[in-house]
C-alpha cells in the first residue's frame, strides 16, 4: 500500500530528485532524453505526485474550500456543479462540507476548511455572522454566493432578487392584475431583496402592496394560501411567491379550496428549478442562472488567488421571466 515517492522514481531513472520534480511540473528546461527516462520510470512504478506534500513545499494550494449551507437544496448543488467545472478546468480541486443552516456548525465547517489552507473559499448561502466571514477572508480569498456583504475583502455573486420580483409583478400587471399578494421567504437568504422588489414594483404602479410572511417550502406556501382565505376579504387575483416550492404548495392549496390556476388566481414562482419545468407543474417563474453563478464564483476566486485583482467584485446577475401555464388574465370582476 505504500506508494512510490519521487526518490524512488529518481533512483530508477538514474537522476536526482530535483530533476524528477522538474519533469513532474512540466518544466521546459529538461532535456528530452532525461524527461523520457523519468516519465518511463514513473510509469513503471505507478508514481503520481503527492498533492499535499507538493502543496506544503510550494506554499501554494490547489484546493478550493466550498461550504454549502445545504446540499439537499438542488439550487446549491447546481452551483457546486458550476464551481467544479471551472475549478477542475483550472487544475483546482474542491473540498466540500455542509453547514446545515446552523451558524455554529458553519463556524466549525469553516475552520475545518481553513485548516487545509485552501487557495480560496466559496461560501454558498452562509448564515454565519459577518465577523466570521471577515475572519475567514483574512486567511484566504472568499467569494459569497446568495449572500451579500459590504466587506471589501470578499467578492459576491447574487441574482438581483429585487429585479426578479419586479419582473414577476410587471408581468402580472401587464396581464391586467391589480390585487397581487407576495408570499415572502421569511428569514431565508435573498428573501429581503425579493420582498423589496415586489414592494417597489407595486408602488411604481400605484397598487396597494400585500405581503404574507411565509417560507421556502411547499407546506408554507399552502399555509399562506389558507391564511389568505381565512382572513376573509377579497382574495388577490395573483400571487408572487417566495420560490418554486412555495408556489407549488400554494397552487395545491388553491385547488383544494376550489380555485383554479390560472383561471381564478395566477401564480409566479422563483428560481426556475427543474420542478417548475415539469409539464405537470408548468410554473411561470423567475430564472436564476445557477450554473453561471457557480462559474462566476469560481472565476472571482481564481482571480484573487492569482492576485489579478484586489478590489471586491459584486456580481449581480439578471434574472429572467419564464412564462409557463400558471399565469393568465385575471377573472372578470364579479358584479
Partner DNA sequence: CTACACGATTAGAGCGCTCCAACAAATAGA
Partner DNA sequence: TCTATTTGTTGGAGCGCTCTAATCGTGTAG
Q: Which of 102, 112, 152, 318 binds a copy of itself (CB under 8 A)?
A: 112
Whether 210 and 182 have beta carbons less than 8 Å apart is answered as yes
| Residue 21 binds: one of a copy of itself, DNA, none (C-beta under 5 to 8 A by kind) | DNA
**Which residue, 307 or 332, is less far from a copy of itself as judged by CB?**
307
Retrieve residue 73's grid coordinates.
Answer: 437544496
How far apart CA 142 and CA 134 sit, in angstroms, is 9
Interface characters, 58-77, with a copy of itself (x: CB under 8 A)? -----x-------xx-x--x
CB of 117 to DNA, least distance (A): 8
Binding of a copy of itself at residue 193 (CB under 8 A)?
Answer: no
The residue to which cell 472565476 is assigned? 299
CA atoms within 13 A on the CB side of 210: 19
The DSSP letter of residue 237 is S
Binding of DNA at residue 36 (CB under 7 A)?
Answer: no
Q: Which of 219, 264, 317, 320 binds a copy of itself (CB under 8 A)?
A: 219
> Among the candidate windows 47-55, 69-77, 137-145, 229-237, which touches DNA by CB under 7 A?
47-55
> Among the candidate windows 55-63, 66-74, 95-103, 300-308, which touches DNA by CB under 7 A?
55-63
| Residue 303 binds: one of DNA, a copy of itself, none (C-beta under 5 to 8 A by kind) | none
| Residue 139 binds: one of a copy of itself, DNA, none (C-beta under 5 to 8 A by kind) | a copy of itself
Q: Residue ranges of the alpha helices (H) in the chain?
A: 6-13, 17-24, 32-45, 51-58, 74-89, 103-114, 130-139, 161-175, 191-204, 218-230, 244-256, 274-277, 290-305
Q: 189: part of which helix (H) or strand (E)?
A: none
**Strands 180-183 and 211-212, how do they pair?**
parallel
- Of the chain, the end-to-end C-alpha distance in Å amounts to 83
Q: Which of 39, 101, 116, 227 binds a copy of itself (CB under 8 A)?
A: 116
**Which residue, 17 or 179, is less far from DNA as judged by CB?**
17
Q: 287: part of which helix (H) or strand (E)?
A: strand 285-287
Query: Which residue, among 261, 230, 232, has the nearest Cα to 241 in the 3D structure?
Result: 261
CB of 43 to a copy of itself, least distance (A): 13
**Strands 93-98 and 120-124, how do they pair?**
unpaired
Backbone angles phi, psi at 224, to 5 degrees: -65, -40
Contacts of 84 (CB under 8 A, 6+ apart): 94, 294
Whether 263 and 332 have beta carbons less than 8 Å apart is answered as no
CB of 35 to DNA, least distance (A): 7
Q: Which of residues 127-146 bind a copy of itself (CB under 8 A)?
A: 138-139
CB of 83 to DNA, least distance (A): 25
Binding of a copy of itself at residue 192 (CB under 8 A)?
Answer: no
> Among the candidate windows 153-161, 178-186, 195-203, 277-285, which touches a copy of itself by CB under 8 A?
277-285
Binding of DNA at residue 19 (CB under 7 A)?
Answer: yes
Query: Which residue, among 213, 224, 242, has the nearest Cα to 75 in the 3D structure?
Result: 242
Q: Site residues (CB under 8 A) for a copy of itself?
A: 1, 3, 48-53, 55-56, 63, 71-72, 74, 77-78, 80-81, 84-85, 88, 93-98, 109, 111-117, 138-139, 218-219, 222, 245, 248-249, 251-253, 255, 275, 278-281
Q: Site residues (CB under 7 A) for DNA?
A: 2, 5-7, 15-19, 21-22, 24-25, 28-31, 33-34, 47, 49-50, 53-54, 56-60
Amino acid at each position: 500500500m505504500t506508494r512510490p515517492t519521487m526518490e524512488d522514481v529518481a533512483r530508477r531513472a538514474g537522476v536526482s530528485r530535483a530533476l524528477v520534480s522538474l519533469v513532474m511540473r512540466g518544466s521546459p528546461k529538461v532535456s528530452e532524453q532525461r524527461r523520457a527516462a523519468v516519465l518511463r520510470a514513473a510509469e513503471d512504478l505507478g508514481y503520481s505526485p503527492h498533492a499535499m506534500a507538493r502543496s506544503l513545499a510550494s506554499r501554494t494550494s490547489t484546493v478550493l474550500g466550498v461550504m454549502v449551507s445545504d446540499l439537499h437544496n438542488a439550487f446549491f448543488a447546481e452551483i457546486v456543479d458550476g464551481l467544479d467545472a471551472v475549478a477542475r478546468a483550472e487544475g483546482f480541486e474542491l473540498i466540500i462540507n455542509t453547514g446545515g443552516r446552523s451558524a455554529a456548525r458553519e463556524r466549525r465547517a469553516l475552520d475545518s476548511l481553513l485548516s487545509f489552507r485552501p487557495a480560496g473559499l466559496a461560501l454558498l448561502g452562509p448564515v454565519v455572522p459577518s465577523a466570521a466571514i471577515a475572519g475567514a477572508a483574512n486567511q484566504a480569498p472568499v467569494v459569497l454566493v446568495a449572500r451579500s456583504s459590504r466587506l471589501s475583502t470578499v467578492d459576491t455573486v447574487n441574482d438581483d432578487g429585487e429585479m426578479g420580483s419586479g419582473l414577476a409583478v410587471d408581468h402580472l400587471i401587464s396581464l391586467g392584475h391589480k390585487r397581487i399578494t407576495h408570499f415572502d421567504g421569511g428569514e431565508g437568504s435573498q428573501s429581503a431583496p425579493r420582498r423589496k422588489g415586489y414592494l417597489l414594483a407595486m408602488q411604481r404602479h400605484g397598487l396597494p402592496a400585500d405581503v404574507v410572511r411565509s417560507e421556502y417550502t411547499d407546506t408554507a406556501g399552502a399555509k399562506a394560501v389558507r391564511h389568505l382565505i381565512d382572513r376573509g376579504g377579497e382574495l388577490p387575483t395573483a400571487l408572487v411567491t417566495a420560490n418554486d416550492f412555495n408556489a407549488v404548495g400554494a397552487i395545491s392549496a388553491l385547488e383544494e379550496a376550489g380555485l383554479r390556476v390560472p383561471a381564478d388566481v395566477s401564480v409566479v414562482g422563483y428560481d426556475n428549478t427543474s420542478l417548475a419545468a415539469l409539464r405537470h407543474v408548468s410554473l411561470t417563474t423567475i430564472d436564476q442562472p445557477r450554473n453561471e453563478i457557480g462559474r462566476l464564483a469560481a472565476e472571482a476566486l481564481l482571480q484573487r488567488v492569482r492576485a489579478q485583482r484586489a478590489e471586491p467584485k459584486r456580481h449581480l446577475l439578471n434574472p429572467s421571466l419564464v412564462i409557463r401555464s400558471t399565469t393568465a388574465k385575471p377573472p372578470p370582476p364579479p358584479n
